[in-house]
Each structure stands twice: as structure tokens, then as C-alpha cells.
Structure 1
Amino acid sequence: MLHLRLITPADRTDEVVRLIEGTVGTAHLVVLPGAARDPAGDLVLCDVAREAGDELISGLRRLGLDETGSIAVEDIDLSLSRRADRAEKEAPGEGADAVLWEGLTDATHEESTLSFTYVAFITLATMIAACGVVLDNAILIVGAMAVGPEFGPLAGICTALVRRQPRLAWRSLIALLVGFAAAMALTAGFSVFMHAVGLFSKAQLEADRPNTGFIYAPDWFSLVVAVLAGIAGTLSLTSAKSGALVGVAISVTTVPAAANAAVALVYGDTDQTARSSEQLLLNLLGIVVAGTLTLLAQKYFWARQRQRP
């Protein structure tokens, strides 16, 4: 279930209440006239089954409530109510399959913003991965994958393509490209420093690396894993199962490939640089294509499911 907290202008409250009452899957409607002060208006509270949430939120936006008042949505972890149980049964489809498009757009918009924190995380992840490739340490590679925040902009691109929002697409693309460019440049400088103090060497980079050699060896499995990770990551976002994102993060070699390319470039190993860059682009492309197709499939099947009696 979802909990909605709405601030409505007094002259629109009746319309909002009629919309809520006419939406299948709603419960616990509360109207507090004049309770809101900023903006001034009435406070309307209700619960809605996740399956019906997107329809209700879209209706509220068509009434202009996002401009004249406020729409706040939060997940309910526990609801002990027969009325809530009945509302979930009445709503068409399954809550786990429902996509809250407004929530997805808002989440990806925030995650795909180019900020100091985003650049810091992707840079730190790339530096950790640089240590991993030089030391041939798989644990450091896995840690770097988990720290990397690059799935946010990738999900933003997928969402923007499906919802036809060019501004979100550009924002996500800029965050992705600038983030990786800054991370690789700073990691190259980090590598120069580590070489100067005797912790990195070209011999370590070019030695046999049984644990991390796959990073600069792109093949069909790289694309297959990227596609599967893109599907899993998209499903984890749309179904609110964010815990699965950690598994997605450590299954693709985006950050490690960027790190390997940066270190190899410092040592003039153009072959490793080129193959690592190919691995990076292959993973990014696979995730975007798979994520976009997953969202389109969810949109199609959910529409078909809602049409069933």
C-alpha cells in the first residue's frame, strides 16, 4: 500500500475527493478542511493499493494539484486493516508488477544529477578498482563495483527514452559521461602518484592477472551479463526491491574497466586501454538497451493486465 498526503486548494477539494473515491483500490480517506497553512488549503489523506497508485497520481496531476497544492507519496511497511486488504484485492493486477512512473521518474532524476557527491563516489570507486587491477585483487574489484553509482544515470536514460523526456535523457547522459571522464582523469593522476611512491608499477599491470584479466577482455559474455544486469536493475527499481541493485552493481565491469583504462593509459599500454574502453562501452550499451526494453515490456504487459475484467 501507498500513503498519499495531499494539500488541495479549498475550491478543488471536492474534485480531489471524487477522484479518490472513484479510484478502485483506495482506502482510509481523511479530509481535514483548512488544516494546511503553506500552501493554504485542505489536507487530504488516503491509502491506495500500489497497483492503483500510478492511475491516481496521474489523475491528481491532471487536476493540477502538483502546481496548486502538494502530492506526497510514501510506502506503507505495515497496514493492519481489513479495508486495506479489500482495496488491494479490488485493484487490478499485482502490486509487485505495478510501476509508479512518477516515482520512477523522480528517483532517476535525483540519481542522475551531476553533483559533487556523485563525482566523488564514482571517482573513489574507480580508484579502488585501480588498486584492484594492479594488485590483481578480486575483492577490491567487487568493492569498487558496489561503490560505483553509475546505474542511476543509466536508469535515467532508460526512463527518459520510454517516457520521452529529452531533458532527463540529457541530464543523465551528461552525468554519466562527465562522471566517468572526471573519475578516469583523477584516477590517472592517482596512478601517477602511486607509481611515484613505489606502490604501482607497469610490471604489475602487464603481469598475468588471473583474477582481473577479464576486465580488459570483452567478449559475448560481457554483453550477455550486461543485458541480464540491466533487466535485473530495472526490475529492482520498478518493484521497489532496491536490495537487488547491489547484486546488479557487482555483476558488470563498468567501473573496473574505466579504472583499468586509466591506469593502462598512464603506463602507455594502448592495447589494454583500448580493450578496457571497449569493455566499458559494451557494458553501458547492454544495460541501456536491456533497461529500456524492460520498461517498455512492463508498460505493455501492465496495460494488458489492467484491461482484464
Structure 2
Amino acid sequence: MKYSGIGGQAVIEGVMMKNGDEYATAVRKPDGEIEVKKDTYISMGEKVKFFSLPFVRGIFSFVDSMVLGMRSLTFSASFFEDDEDAGEPGKFEQFLDRVFGEKLEKALMAVVMVFSVIMAIAIFMVLPLFLANIFHRFIASQTVMAVIEGIIRIVIFIAYIKIISNMEDIRRTFMYHGAEHKCINCLEHGLDLTVENVRESSKEHKRCGTSFLLIVMVISILFFMVVRVDTVWLRVVSRIVLIPVIAGVSYEFLRLAGRSNSKIMDILSRPGMWMQGLTTTEPDDSMIEVGIASVEAVFDWREFLNKNFPEKQG
């Protein structure tokens, strides 16, 4: 495997791919045509050098992915909005429009992201602590309690994915997630980016965000074994305060794993790859075509193959 530097996300009926400062979102419109939007995004690490330092860049990379994901989702969703029932905007909508004007969309995106982060912290960091605390009266060992809390956190995450995967839109998004991975795997294993080659490639990839979340949950167990405080509320504070630290360590592990071909890293990455079975599904050929269109908008895959796999090129 050769590291390509490209990464992406699945969106509504489409795929976003990023290469350097350029990214492209390809969407299969209701009429069957593929619409591709190409743009640029300067990461926070490029704007502020401190944000690009090891163990610091992880949390800011996560923020970058959320911002870019929201932009791409907004673009993809625009093709599927139902305007038939749209009436006159209500008083609240008119008020927001007067206050924010052209910046309304950005303001709403910011609110959605902040709300999402708060809910994620509450559900996946704080709730497991309170559930694990039920066992505290029976178990004195803080180490065992940290393990129980971590297991509960993983179970909640799996249950959450299982529940939302029953939604038709989410199931299709997971298929596009598979198409995204298969396109990147196809290139990084030296194959021409064709529907046939992509179809035969793996839908699991070591740099996936699903793997990152699992790594966060595992590393959090190790941190909370060491960080010990007396009261429940201090433990809640510690869970929140340590999120940037845990994210930073997890990002460095994922970054190393995504660039390494060593057997040890492959073994350590395996649980994250298994977890991707929950968030990636085999795509159909039409979805693969969307993934290919997104890659080709920002990445010269032929030059990449000629440079990194000359023995395979005719």
C-alpha cells in the first residue's frame, strides 16, 4: 500500500474527497446525473502553526472535518429539498434572516455543530460514566471501573450505529461510505481507478473516522485508569477536560497506522477495521461512479500510479 494523501466522507447520495487544500463533492442527483462541486478549504493547522503540532493537531483536524462535512452535506442536501410544501417563511425565520442576512447559513451550521458536539459528549462520555457508577457500590477498584465504563461506551456506540442504520437514508450513506473507502484502497494498492477495480477493493480503510472513534474509546480507558478523582462530578469534569488530549493521542495513532504497512500496526488497526463493518456497506456501481468522479476532481490518480507503482503500468 502507498499513502495517497486523499481522504473523504460520505454525504447524502454522494461522496466528498479532499486532497491538500482542494476538495470536491460529487452527488447523484434525482435525475441520475452526477453533479460535482470543487472548492478549497484551508485547515486550521495551516492558518495557525501551533494547531499543526503533534498531539495538538488531532482536535483541530476533527474540527476541520466537521466544518468540511457540514459544507458538503449542505451541498448534497440541496438537491433533495422538497419545495412543493414550502410556504411563506415564518416570523422566526424572517427574524433570523434580518439578524444574520447572508451569514444565516453559516450561523445555523455553527449552531448545529456546537449542539452535535455537546450531545456527543453527553451521550458517549458522560452517560457511560453515570451508568458505570451503578457498579461502584460493588467494585472498589478504579481500574476495573474504568474498564467497565469503557465497555459501556463502546456498547452505546454500537447500539447507536445499529439504530440509525435502520433508516433508509443512513443505509445508503453507509453504501457511499463504502464507495469512498474502496476508491482510496483501489488507488493505494496500485490499481487503475475503474468501476471494476474499485468494486474488487476493500471497503475497510485504516484512516477511517470510525476507527478513530474506536481508538478514542480505547485510549480513554487507559487515561481514566490513571486519572482518579473522588467525586462523580469531578470525574465528569475530567472526562470533558481530557477530550482534547485523548483526541490528540488517538489522531497520532490513526495517522501512523494509515501510513504504515507494518504487521504490528495492521494488528493494532484490526479492531477499528472490524468496527467499520457497522458504518460501511458494499456500494452498487452507480455509487462507485460517484466516488470516482469525486476523486478525479481533486486527484491525478494516473500520475500517482505512474510514480508509486511503475511496475504495474503498461
Bigger relative CO (Cα 8 Å, ≥ 6 apart) = 2
Q: With structure 1 as the length reference, what TM-score do the two structures score?
A: 0.28
Pair member with larger Rg: 1
